[in-house]
Amino acid sequence: MRLLIFTYTDAMMRLKAIPLSLAFVLATQIGGCGDDTSSTAQSSPAAESRPMTEAEIRKEKERRVYNPTAEERAEDEARRQAEAHANDPVVTKLGEPGAAPAFTEYKEIAMGTQLVFLRSALTNQPISAIAVADGFAHRIGDYDLGDEEMSKLLGELVKERDQFAQRDIAKRLDPILQKHADEYKSVRYVKVSFPNVGALSGYDFDKQGFDFTPTPFNDVYAGSEQERIRALSTGAPVNDRGTVIFSDNRQYQAAFSNGGEFRFIKVTDEAAARAVEAVVKKRGTRIDATVYGYVESLQDGQNTKSDGKKLTVIRIQRVDLSEESNPSTVFYSYTN
């Protein structure tokens, strides 16, 4: 075997023989060998982590077999319930009404305009004429609201389409409405009359009383709108909440929280039952009802939150019955 001795001088001689351009390429390649890995790492930093979105979390749960904890099951159920009831009517419960006055002292509610005032007073919210104008009838000026100037301005506001003109009218009308609303600050006990609610049934000797089924006394379906629709599709009995609607403002309505309790008029005294039966059996008799009670809650929405109805919900204490032809004479008073 031959031993080759390669000296520095020989190396230099050989390097000088390499063309300059090739020498530069060789030098560049040799010089960059040790830095290749670090250069690549520096030019490709790891992507920053971020939390998963709700949509991604749900998709991941569907993709894999998921065994939720009790807390996760509760969270999922709460989310489903929130979605199912998102458009349910909103109920604002009121505090205790205080001692009741004599029935003769109950505030009579005969117009939707009064319910506008009452709601403002009970919620301590100022009245905005523009906000409530849509609920008023277009012939509002034909109604006697107890204030000629207020009726006139309401009529102008309802008819006006120019937004600047509406605001000008509202500036004059708002303080008048607020003055009337302030008069209802202490009102909780009210009476509401609604005529021509139908006839009572004949006397039921087994149950000892008369069936009485005016629409405003409908039992209330307590489920969500989706549940209500499903119940209707199966033929289940589902009642809308009955209300008393006034001609001046159809958006603000009176409703009853315990109307179902008054759909049967119990009369155990035979003499009283005979007197009621005599009225009931008159040909063509129709019944007027006057309800006494206290305002228990306020409700935004009748069947759904978005339907725009504003309900004043009254808990009934007494119902007076009279003939439509003789409304001033009460032929029976019923307290459940």
| Whether pLDDT at 60 is above 60 | yes
Considering the domain boundaries, does residue 329 fall inside one? yes
Query: Hey, what are 236's tokens?
Result: 């289940």
- Indicate the burial class of 49 (C-beta count within 10 angstroms; 0-12, 13-18, 19 or more): exposed
The reply to whether 15 falls in a domain is no
When comparing pLDDT for 140 and 183, which is higher? 183
Q: Is residue 131 part of a domain?
A: no
Question: Which sign does the torsion angle of CA 176, 177, 182, 183 carry?
Answer: positive
Q: What is the pLDDT of residues 196-227, one digit of tens each?
A: 887 788 999 999 999 998 889 887 765 666 66
On whether residue 178 sits in a domain, the answer given is: no
Of 260 and 230, the one with more pLDDT = 260
Residue 85's pLDDT is 82
54: part of which helix (H) or strand (E)?
helix 54-63
Check pLDDT > 90 for residue 187.
yes
Contact 190, 210 (CB under 8 A): no
pLDDT at 222: 59
Residue numbers of the domain that contains 243: 91-122+186-334
Is residue 205 a part of any domain in this protein? yes
Tokens encoding 196: 């021509």
- 241: which DSSP letter? P
Q: How far, in Å, CA of 277 to CA of 279, rounded?
A: 5
Q: Which of these, 267, 284, 287, 263, lies nearest to 212 by C-alpha position?
A: 263
Residue 12: predicted pLDDT: 43
Q: Residues 263-280: pLDDT tens digits?
A: 999 999 999 999 999 998
Does pLDDT of 291 surpass 90? yes
Assess contact for 132 and 126: CB atoms under 8 A. no
Is 221 a member of any domain?
yes
Helices (H) and strands (E) in the chain, counts: 11, 10
* Greater model confidence, 28 or 235: 235
Query: How far apart, in whole angstroms, are the C-alpha atoms of residue 184 and residue 187?
Result: 5
Average pLDDT, the chain: 81
Percent of the chain clearing pLDDT 90 (strictly above): 45
Count of structural domains within the chain: 1
pLDDT tier at 327, thresholds 50, 70, 90:
confident
Residue 27 is assigned to a structural domain of this protein: no
Residue 18's SS3 state is: coil
User: What pTM was estimated for this model as a whole?
Assistant: 0.73
CB burial of residue 147 (10 Å; 0-12, 13-18, 19+):
middle
3-state DSSP assignment of residue 267:
coil
Residue 88, token pair as written in the block = 């349910």
**Is residue 80 situated within a structural domain?**
no
**CA distances (Å), origin 215, targets 63, 132, 239, 243, 290:** 51, 26, 9, 7, 14
Question: For residue range 100-158, what is the model confidence (pLDDT) as tens digits?
Answer: 999 999 999 999 999 999 999 999 999 989 888 888 877 776 677 788 899 889 889 98
pLDDT of residue 221: 65
162 DSSP assignment:
-
